[in-house]
Amino acid sequence: MPANDHKYLPETWRGPDGEPVSCVDKLALLNENLEELHEMAQEALEDAVVMGCDEKQVRQVLADLIAALEKPFA
């Protein structure tokens, strides 16, 4: 899947040094993980709205959840 198919995927994945990540397997896994996350978040948003929750609040909760992720390695 080309990175530009989904607006949330970057055109180029970069390492901490700013250099592009070029390993095809790594790129595929990164994009696959984000696609799965997108699908899950979309379903959570839809379920919440159907159950009567405020869409804006649900979007904020999802954004807060992402912002609260901890860096897994030092």
pLDDT at 2: 46
Which residues, given as ranges, of the chain have pLDDT below 50?
1-4
| Sign of CA pseudo-dihedral 33, 36, 42, 47 | negative
pLDDT at 1: 42
pLDDT at 5: 60
pLDDT at 73: 85
pLDDT at 56: 98
Q: Which residues contact 9 (CB under 8 A, 6 or more apart)?
A: 3, 31, 34
pLDDT at 59: 98
pLDDT at 8: 85
Q: Phi and psi at residue 68, in whole multiples of 5°?
A: -85, -5
